[in-house]
Structure 1
Amino acid sequence: MFLLAFGPEEFSFAQEKPGWIKRFIQKSISDTTSNGKPSFRIYPTLAYSPETSFEFGFSSLLLFQAKNDTLNRLSEIQAFTFITLEAQYGIWLDNAIYGNKDKWFVLGRTRFQRFPLLYYGIGPETTGNEPALIDANYILLRQRILRKVVPNLFIGPEVDYQQLYNTKFNQPDDHDAYELPIGTGGGRNLGLGAALVYDNRHNVLNVRKGLFGEISFLNYAKSLASDHNFYGVNLDIRSSHPTNDRNVLAWQFLGNFFTGEVPFNQLALMGGEMIMRGYYSGRYRDKNMLATQVEHRWLPFKFSKRIGGTVFAAAAVVAPRVHEFSWKHIRPSGGVGLRYLLFPKKDIFLRLDVGFTKEGPGFYLFTGEAF
């Protein structure tokens, strides 16, 4: 998918004053929000991909600190809405909200979309030729409500609700028919569990120094209003290290481990805008996945106040069972990116990444770093 964004506009919570054109230009290139005060920015996006044709949308970002206290961590709520020429649409919402003095931490995401899913099969050796196209409505609600137990350590319940409906599995014309995986007829699954999180980051969207570690367990059962019985363990470790005032070296390790009757859309998915950039999300999928990535960031370049860049590399592998992970199935990816300092006072960048794989490039435009 290829995406473009046009000059961001920052909107004040105060009533608009006369001379709005001049104010628009000034606010498009400057961050006038006082430290500690909420900031909101919205900007249009244009995208194109073979499965959607042209896509038009808006991205928005709300930044704030509890009680407007700069000693509290920076909370963020991101929203993205889109519609395509193929009458597809969606709303995405991501949140990382810290309470006063970190007493509470609410971390999660929400998705509602009518969007095609390319399906290449399940396993580490699926071919990239002629994927099936699954058209469906999709709802995802996932939240962790965490309580601080000691400084930087949080624990609490986690809930994950996913529903797929109005599904149509379109077999490719020039390919043997795919065996229909679990979940292609639609369904809903509710997972309940718990998460343990260590987090000493101060700025989630641009971590210059800090460690995030999470291990969580989710159980999906028919007795809990799910259509299938399965459970999963997720592990996510991220670390960022400043090499000087402008540069950051960051790495991440991710593990997903599922057991039971896992629907195809809730398997461990390789690819996307967060990890293994360059691969279509779900290009490889299975019950288990190990992935890692490393990235060096110039935020910003030494010769610029707003423009920065990055280089990154990643590798991942999927398998039906943990003991079946194989070196020969490891898939590499790498890429480069540009950064634009969107909120100077809050150190938030807009990122445009290009990920490269043996199957071609992928383009990504988002607010905040990938991890």
Structure 2
Amino acid sequence: MKNLIIICLCLLPAALFAQDASNMIPKQSAVKDTARQTDLIDIAKQLFKISPQKPRIQREKKIYFSILPVPGTVPGGAGRALITSTTAGTYLGPQSTTNLSSATFAPYWNLHSRFGLPLRSSIWLKDNTWNIQGDIRFLVYPQYTWGLGGSHAYNDKTLVNYNYIRFYQSALKRITPYFFAGGGYNLDYHTNIKSDDPTVDLKQFTGYSYGTNGNSVSSGVSLNLLYDTRNNSINPLPGAYANVVYRINPTFLGSDDNWSSLYVDVRKYISLNPANKNQQNTLAFWSYLWTVLGSNAPYLDLPSIGWDPYNRSGEGIDQNRYRGKSLFYFESEYRRDITTNGLLGFVVFADVNTVSGSGFLFKSWHPAAGTGLRVKFNKGSNTNIGIDYAGSKGYSAIIFNIGESF
């Protein structure tokens, strides 16, 4: 059954490739007029009586910044922290033929010993000839763990302390207008792994032998396939996305053991009002399957909810609540503007996941749901500030984001 699901999900991108791509991305002129929309920058100009100039227009190679400094809670028990999320977007070629390149830097500090420096980027070269993806992180990171699968109740958890360095870099070349192929290098380096409670033996608590004490290193290469008809990853327009990453971690590149993994990510965006491009009215769907191949992957590198590449899955579920050798995830979201000028909007969403570990994949399902407010921060890059409330059994949270969850 598991193999059948993997094959089906791998075939989904092929089905997406067969669609008429010209109908999936709204055609844009090189200069997009946003005069009929309003964002927080316009509001600030009015409040501080800054003299209005000509209507703001997206111009070639202009950089659009969005900054959100907010207090929040760092996942994994670090308590309250100051989180500053900065997103920058720019076009490195004509907007009619080049996707929006984006970079997100979201450092946090809890005013004590917990901090993180994550930097993620997706760079599209002129005419989308290449896509360069990066994910660099340095984290002093506490994280609750519940072992594999659903073997522990929500309150039966232990706090794991560790330091984490991640370096992912990949380059994908355009094969057809929306299909890219390439490869990359991936490093996950965890040090000083130990339970916050000295009486807890992580190997015994998790029921897993690899990477539960001391250090763990996973160093490997990846083979990447990408199909993307979106032209703005910060706030995707109607279109489709499929990403397949096969990663190999051999000992001769520095890994503790030989192991590999497969990650298949498929998304679809459907406009319910395609005639009005200035109004958001969209259904969005996201599904991924993440599995390790072999039995000796380090514990902290196993598939886990909330540890997808952008840490956006499982809203309403505590990060790392479910971890196992395989994880399947599905989310649906409805996005709609409240005001005609695009300043305010809302979303409603629901997600579900199943994970192997203490049992088989698809044996048990873990749902969550929520809703949220959207405020247009920068209409040039179509960037929203998101304030979501989501919950599941035994857990709820308020989440602040720049850009959409997916």
Given the two structures, how large is their TM-score scaled by the length of structure 2?
A: 0.79
8 Å contact from structure 1 (residues 35, 70) kept in 2: no
Is 1:51 aligned with 2:77?
yes
Task: Give the C-alpha shift of residue 74 in structure 1.
Answer: 0.8
Pair 172,365 (structure 1): closer, same or farther in 2 beyond 3 Å: farther
| Partner Cα separation in structure 1 for residue 340 and residue 96 of structure 2 | 29
Is 1:309 aligned with 2:357?
no
Q: 1:263 aligns with which of 289, 293, 298?
A: 298
Given the two structures, how large is their TM-score scaled by the length of structure 1?
A: 0.86
Map 1:240-279 to 2 at 5 A: 240-244=269-273, 245=276, 246-260=280-294, 261-271=296-306, 274-279=312-317
| Partner Cα separation in structure 2 for residue 201 and residue 354 of structure 1 | 27
Pair 267,326 (structure 1): closer, same or farther in 2 beyond 3 Å: same
Task: Give the stretch that moved more between structures: 237-246 or 34-43.
Answer: 34-43
Task: Give the stretch that moved more between structures: 168-177 or 283-292.
Answer: 168-177
Task: Give the stretch that moved more between structures: 267-276 or 241-250.
Answer: 267-276
Task: Give the C-alpha shift of residue 70 in structure 1.
Answer: 5.3
Match of 1:255, SS?
strand
Query: 2:360 — aligned with what?
Result: 324
Deviations 1:147-169 (A, max 9, x none): 00111000000221011113332
Q: Which runs of 5+ in 2 are unaligned?
A: 1-38
| Partner Cα separation in structure 2 for residue 133 and residue 51 of structure 1 | 7
| Partner Cα separation in structure 2 for residue 290 and residue 145 of structure 1 | 26
Pair 43,325 (structure 1): closer, same or farther in 2 beyond 3 Å: closer
Map 1:34-49 to 2 at 5 A: 34-36=58-60, 37-48=62-73
| Partner Cα separation in structure 1 for residue 252 and residue 199 of structure 2 | 40
Query: 1:143 — aligned with what?
Result: 169
Deviations 1:190-225 (A, max 9, x none): 121201111110111111211100111101121221
Match of 2:154, SS?
coil
Task: Give 1:142's aligned amino acid.
Answer: Y
Match of 1:101, SS?
helix
In the comparison of the two structures, how many residue pairs are matched? 350
Task: Give the C-alpha shift of residue 41 in structure 1.
Answer: 3.1
Give the structure with the larger strand fraction: 1
Percent of aligned pairs sharing the same letter: 23
Query: 1:87 — aligned with what?
Result: 113
8 Å contact from structure 2 (residues 323, 357) kept in 1: no
Query: 1:157 — aligned with what?
Result: 183
Map 1:334-345 to 2 at 5 A: 334-345=369-380
| Partner Cα separation in structure 2 for residue 22 and residue 153 of structure 1 | 42
8 Å contact from structure 2 (residues 263, 290) kept in 1: yes
Match of 1:178, SS?
helix
| Partner Cα separation in structure 1 for residue 46 and residue 166 of structure 2 | 38
| Partner Cα separation in structure 1 for residue 333 and residue 258 of structure 2 | 37
Match of 1:90, SS?
strand
Query: 1:178 — aligned with what?
Result: 205
Task: Give the C-alpha shift of residue 357 in structure 1.
Answer: 0.3
Task: Give the C-alpha shift of residue 43 in structure 1.
Answer: 3.4
After superposition, the CA RMSD in angstroms is 2.9
8 Å contact from structure 1 (residues 142, 159) kept in 2: yes
Map 1:286-305 to 2 at 5 A: 286-298=324-336, 300-302=337-339, 305=342
Q: Which runs of 5+ in 1 are unaligned?
A: 1-7, 11-20
Task: Give the stretch that moved more between structures: 281-290 or 158-167.
Answer: 158-167
Task: Give 2:324's aligned amino acid.
Answer: D
Pair 302,165 (structure 1): closer, same or farther in 2 beyond 3 Å: same
Task: Give 2:66's aligned amino acid.
Answer: R
Is 1:199 aligned with 2:228?
yes
